[in-house]
Amino acid sequence: MKKILSVALVILLIIFTNPAISAQLGIIPKPNKMVELTGKFTLDKNTRIYLDRSDQEVKRVVDDFRAFVKIPMGFEIRYAGRLPQSGYIGISIDTLIQNKEGYLLMVTPEKVIIKANSPTGIFYALQTLRQLLPPGIEAQFSGKKRWDIPAVEIEDFPRFEYRGFMLDVARHFQPVEVLMRYIDLLSFYKINHFHLHLTDDQGWRIEIKKYPKLQEISAWRKESMVGHAGDKPRKYDGIRHGGFYTQEQLKAVVKYAQAHFITIIPEIELPGHSTAVLAAYPELTCFPKKFEVTPDYGVFEDVYCTKESTFKFLEDVLSEVVEIFPGKIIHIGGDECPKTRWKICPQCQERIKMENLKNENELQSYFIKRIQKFLNSKGRNIIGWDEIMEGGLAPGATLMYWRTWLGDKHIAEAARAGFKIIMSPLDPLYFNLYENEEREITPLAYPGLIPLEKVYNYNPVPLKLTGKDVQNIIGVQANLWSEYVKDGKGAEYMTFPRACALSEIGWSPQASKDYADFIRRLKINTSHLDLLNVNYSKYFLK
């Protein structure tokens, strides 16, 4: 009996002292270091916030948090003028913390201490705090008066500086509210780049004042495809579809994103995927004719011609784009550009001769470098899909690697050549592919399967890379192409919880990977998403 008691005591001791056997914490992405302590801090109307220095941006971040929790708490957390003895949340900038996005969060029964190198770190600490609070913190009504936060010590910073998500708003236009909601949700998971795919064959979504036909014509198509693109015959819905964001709306999105420490990456596709533009300005292609904004999906052969007037158009467009988006990098597409028209176009052939180029691949490279030079003159740089490497690339460009089938060797060469790379491989980071095999409960999606576990287990650093080349992998991004995604709810289903796995790939150390632990945390964490009414896939619960 005595023996049984002492064994039970040892087990209890292990449970209460071993941080690996975690209680109820469901933080995503998993913090770098976390030790669970005993007890809890209780937040109530007597709790005060103490800011140790007056920093405008820190105050703004904290005020946003106070406004956010005021709704469910039914009271405001007030500031203390002097450092209280206990019962407070102390927030300060501490430049001894190395990583500019890193933070320390210490919760004890007496107080909560948050330290970070920058306002970004303070914001991330508050997102972690939000995940430690009961999920009712996401509710739109006042619930209880006392809010418990488990005692814990966290030291946290990201693995990669670029953690991104792309939403294709060209194939299906998404209202501004959908973008704002994405900013809320992505920043909750410490994702810091939101890439908007604004232009494609099926629609142009950004107001350009100098070219009004982009709004009048390129933003609208007469119908959309229903069923899979591979269906024979293809079927269409006969319903006009489209829309575009005004510059004012996009500036508001940028501002909202900045407040959430997210950089918006706008993508203006060139030289391919330009059918929607050609419907309005057919003179920009090699062999002008009547084009329509296409309801079909795929790769189209009529692309921008390399004549001077095309560059004039694109430079005018990009001049307006840089006025809206202050981020250092502008995405210029560069993928899937057939060279068939260039091969027989007198003006493109003349350009090849004039510029001493070997072939049409080098002509594409000329195109990209010229746009890069223009954006450099505006103080920006380019990012493009990995095709922009072909035919040579000017230094300073960032590659977004998507063509999985080329293998790691291809990307290792680019890293060795010194290019910065964001890993965004089709397999496993294209969230437009099915997440599960239950076709009867899943909306129509792009053929192919990318399960949650496969996303979670992805390591963005190819094994072939060693030494300082590893540093050239600056981050990771998942993409949601929207051929089959009609609205915000449909987008959420494809995005979550795979974006939770993405956030962990981008933030948490590779060595701490543990899928079973991730699922355990996800089950707790999604109670926040439930209250936020996020339409996430529940397949992981099976």
Contact yes or no for 115/104 (Cβ under 8 A)? yes
Q: Which residues contact 44 (CB under 8 A, 6 or more apart)?
A: 75, 145, 146, 147
189 contact choice in Zn ion, ligand ACM, none (CB below 5 to 8 Å, kind-dependent) = none
- Indicate the helix (H) or strand (E) that contains 242: strand 241-242
CB nearer to ligand ACM: give 148 or 335: 335
Q: Give the tokens for residue 512.
A: 């701490």
Residue 332 C-beta: closest distance to ligand ACM, Å? 12
Window 322-361: contact mask with Zn ion (x via CB under 5 A): -----------------------x-xx-------------
- Residue 168 Cβ, how far from ligand ACM at the closest point, in Å? 9
Which one of ligand ACM, Zn ion, none interacts with residue 336, CB within 5 to 8 A by kind? Answer: ligand ACM
Rounded to the nearest 10 degrees, how much is the dihedral formed by the CA atoms of 456, 461, 463, 467?
-150
CB under 5 to 8 A by kind: which of Zn ion, ligand ACM, none does 217 bind? none
When CB distances are held under 5 to 8 angstroms depending on the partner's kind, the choice from Zn ion, ligand ACM, none that residue 335 binds is ligand ACM
Intra-chain end-to-end CA distance of the chain, in Å: 40
Find the binder of ligand ACM among 300, 366, 402, 446 (CB under 6 A). 402
In the range 22-61, which residues lie near Zn ion by CB under 5 A?
Answer: none
Work out what residue 385 binds among ligand ACM, Zn ion, none; the CB cut-off runs from 5 to 8 Å by kind.
ligand ACM
Q: Minimum Å distance from CB 306 to Zn ion?
A: 6
Strand partners, 163: 476
**To the nearest whole angstrom, how small is the minimum distance from the Cβ of residue 215 to Zn ion?**
26
Residues in the interface with ligand ACM (CB under 6 A) total 4
Nearer Cβ to ligand ACM, position 93 or 198?
198
The single residue among 57, 315, 336, 427 that binds ligand ACM, judged by CB under 6 A, is 336
Q: How far is the CB of 199 from ligand ACM (least distance, A)?
A: 13
In 3D space, the residue among 532, 446, 461 whose CA is nearest the CA of residue 496 turns out to be 532
Sign for the CA dihedral angle at 83, 88, 93, 99 comes to: positive
Closest separation between CB of residue 26 and ligand ACM, Å? 33
Restricting to residues 300-319, name those near Zn ion by CB under 5 A. Answer: 305
**Catalytic residue positions?**
200, 273, 336
By beta-carbon proximity to ligand ACM, the closer residue of 102 and 272 is 272
Q: Which residue number, 42 or 347, has a Cβ lying nearer to Zn ion?
A: 347
Residue pair 467/418 in contact by the 8 Å Cβ criterion: no
76 versus 350: smaller Cβ distance to Zn ion? 350
**Among 88, 182, 313, 385, which residue interacts with ligand ACM (rule: CB under 6 A)?**
385
For Zn ion, the closer of residues 11 and 299 by Cβ is 299
Residue closer to ligand ACM, measured from CB, 431 or 518: 431
Rg (alpha carbons) of the chain, rounded to whole number: 25
Q: How many residues sit close enough to Zn ion to count as binding (CB under 5 A)?
A: 5
For 492: left if phi > 0, alpha if psi spans -120 to 50, otherwise beta; the answer is alpha
Q: How far is the CB of 488 from ligand ACM (least distance, A)?
A: 22
Nearest by Cα to 422 from 314, 366, 502, 311:
502
Burial of residue 356 (number of CB atoms within 10 Å: 0-12, 13-18, 19+): exposed
347 binding partner (options ligand ACM, Zn ion, none; Cβ < 5 to 8 Å by kind): Zn ion
Q: How far is CA 507 from CA 28, 141, 192, 259, 511, in A?
A: 9, 32, 10, 20, 12
Q: Which of 57, 296, 315, 335 binds ligand ACM (CB under 6 A)?
A: 335
By CB neighbour count within 10 A (0-12 exposed, 13-18 middle, 19+ buried), where does 148 fall?
A: middle
- Is residue 414 a contact residue for Zn ion (CB under 5 A)? no
Q: Choosing among Zn ion, ligand ACM, none, which partner's interface includes residue 286 (Cβ < 5 to 8 Å by kind)?
A: Zn ion
Q: Given the complex with ligand ACM, which of 135 and 271 has the nearer CB atom?
A: 271
Calculated CA dihedral for residues 481, 482, 483, 489, nearest 10 degrees? 140
Residue 371 interacts with, from Zn ion, ligand ACM, none (CB under 5-8 Å by kind): none
Q: Which two tokens stand for residue 252?
A: 């508001």
Please identify the residue of the shown chain whose CB is closest to the bound ligand ACM. Answer: 335
Nearest distance in Å: CB 403, ligand ACM: 8
Count each helix (H run) and each strand (E run) in the chain, helices first.
17, 23
286 binds Zn ion (CB under 5 A): yes
Amino acid (one-letter) located at 49: I
User: How many angstroms separate the CA atoms of 204 and 152, rounded?
Assistant: 48
Q: Which long-range contacts (CB under 8 A, 24 or more apart) does 370-373 make?
A: 370/311, 371/270, 371/311, 371/314, 371/318, 371/332, 372/332, 372/396, 372/397
Compute the least distance from the CB of residue 307 to Zn ion, in Å: 6
DSSP one-letter string for 371-403: HHHHHHHTT-EEEEEGGGGTT---TT-EEEE--
Which residues contact ligand ACM (rule: CB under 6 A)? 335-336, 385, 402
Query: Where do contacts with Zn ion occur on this chain (CB under 5 A)?
Result: 286, 305, 345, 347-348
